[in-house]
């Protein structure tokens, strides 16, 4: 919540409700897990919350998102508990968000807003920062009538507040101009990326890309394989920037290993678009290492979400090795039971970036793999 983030830990945040909504058709089958994941997102965004509420929705209201009965339940709780802001687990349209804010009489941050908050904190490279900026500008532009202007001002994009119609027009123009500049920068970065890529292709060094759900252990695997120190953290989206490392096995250069941003369920579509140029690199991969947190009860859904997202960004079926990670968290009898089911995912290895179990199998797979560019 850009407008509500605590400036210092001494400041108490306004009383916050986190509203988990599980709508029909959600790709994560475990409702409980979906809500837990949202709570992690909220925490990662630095938002403390006082109350939580979980709602199941069979249909979505076009203008309010929530159906009438559910809306009344939320309103009742907000009044009783004197709620001053709400973090909502779903992406809302600008209209739904505004209507909810008017009805409940407090600011509402949707899923996209919360993810943007996290993205802003986790982008460090020039490219990552511009990509986040572009996603923010897009987000503000659709919310000019509501809190967009205030948000844009907070992020330093505009110097005026309290927009009337002409001012709105000015802000919009300003945002469009900012977007144009950011786009130009991205294009320049893309060109230099292409130059690097051409060089790499000429040198015949294969590219191996880590993909997977956020928090699966991609950065940890990269660190173990290359003995480097990329940030690994128990946070959703700790890595936003792509990192490339040379991969040596027995002093022989096997290829370049690239760490990418993790996918997540209900990742708003234009956030995927924002990271497209980074994810484009996946198109040139000779092999994808799909890292999966096997200790997570929703791992099956997470695999599907990753595969669907890859399809969405046009990554045709590539050579893929499924790396079932975090096996140190799974009792051996349970692991034996799972193995039968894992046969479906071919080829695969079991691994633990923590205990290093199974890493040998992963390394030997990479050694034997016939890379084609």
Q: Which residues pair with 19 in a beta bridge?
A: 53, 88
Please report where in the chains the tokens 């034996």 appear, as a residue.
336
Nearest CA to 139 out of 131, 64, 281, 13 is that of 131
Compute the least distance from the CB of residue 350 to ligand GDP, in Å: 10
226 binds Mg ion (CB under 5 A): no
Instruction: Answer for the pair 216, 299: CB distance below 8 angstroms, yes or no.
Output: no
> What torsion do the CA atoms of 153, 157, 163, 169 make, to the nearest 10 degrees?
-170
- Report the partner that residue 167 touches, choosing among ligand GDP, Mg ion, none (CB closer than 5 to 8 A by kind): none
- From residue 92, alpha-carbon distances to 2, 64, 88, 138, 364 in Å are 16, 9, 8, 14, 46
**x-or-dash pattern for ligand GDP, window 244-283, by CB under 6 A?**
------------------x---------------------
239 binds Mg ion (CB under 5 A): yes
Nearest CA to 259 out of 300, 302, 228, 303 is that of 228
219 binds ligand GDP (CB under 6 A): yes
Instruction: Answer for the pair 215, 293: CB distance below 8 angstroms, yes or no.
Output: yes
> Measured from the CB atom, is 228 or 319 closer to ligand GDP?
228
Among residues 44, 85, 131, 219, the one that binds Mg ion under rule CB under 5 A: 219
> Measured from the CB atom, is 18 or 306 closer to ligand GDP?
306
- From residue 10, alpha-carbon distances to 7, 96, 333 in Å are 8, 33, 48
Considering only 21-29, 51-59, 111-119, 233-241, which stretch makes contact with ligand GDP by CB under 6 A?
A: 233-241
**x-or-dash pattern for ligand GDP, window 173-212, by CB under 6 A?**
---------------------------------------x
Binding interface with ligand GDP (CB under 6 A): 212, 214-220, 232-234, 238-239, 262, 325-326, 328-329, 352-354
């Amino acid at each position: 919540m850009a407008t509500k983030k605590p400036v210092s830990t001494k400041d108490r945040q306004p009383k916050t409700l986190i509203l988990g909504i599980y709508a029909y058709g959600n790709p994560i089958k475990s409702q409980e897990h979906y809500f837990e994941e949202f709570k992690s997102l909220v925490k990662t965004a630095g938002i403390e919350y006082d109350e939580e509420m979980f709602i199941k929705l069979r249909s979505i209201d076009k203008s309010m998102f929530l159906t009438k009965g559910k809306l009344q339940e939320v309103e009742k709780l907000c009044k009783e508990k004197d709620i001053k802001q709400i973090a909502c687990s779903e992406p809302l349209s600008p209209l739904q968000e505004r209507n909810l804010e008017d009805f409940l009489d407090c600011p509402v941050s949707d899923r996209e807003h919360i993810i943007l908050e996290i993205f802003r904190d986790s982008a460090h490279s020039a490219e990552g920062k511009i990509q986040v900026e572009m996603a923010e500008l897009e987000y503000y532009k659709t919310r000019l009538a509501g809190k967009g202007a205030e948000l844009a001002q907070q992020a330093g994009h505009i110097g005026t507040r309290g927009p009337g119609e002409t001012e709105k027009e000015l802000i919009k123009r300003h945002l469009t101009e900012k977007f144009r500049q950011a786009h130009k920068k991205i294009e320049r970065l893309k060109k230099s990326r292409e130059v690097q890529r051409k060089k790499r292709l000429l040198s015949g060094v294969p590219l191996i890309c880590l993909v997977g759900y956020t928090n699966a252990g991609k950065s940890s695997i990269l660190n173990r394989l290359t003995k480097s120190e990329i940030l690994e953290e128990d946070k959703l989206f700790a890595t936003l920037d792509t990192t490339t490392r040379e991969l040596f096995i027995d002093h022989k250069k096997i290829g370049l290993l690239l760490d990418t941003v993790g996918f997540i369920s209900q990742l708003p579509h234009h956030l995927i678009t924002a990271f497209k140029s980074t994810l484009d690199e996946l198109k040139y991969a000779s092999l994808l290492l799909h890292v999966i947190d096997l200790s997570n009860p929703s791992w099956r859904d997470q695999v599907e979400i990753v595969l669907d997202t890859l399809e969405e960004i046009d990554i045709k079926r590539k050579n893929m090795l499924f790396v079932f990670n975090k096996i140190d968290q799974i009792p051996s009898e349970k692991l034996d039971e799972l193995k039968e089911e894992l046969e479906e995912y071919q080829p695969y290895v079991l691994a633990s970036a923590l205990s290093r179990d199974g890493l040998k199998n992963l390394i030997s797979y990479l050694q034997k793999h016939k890379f084609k560019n």
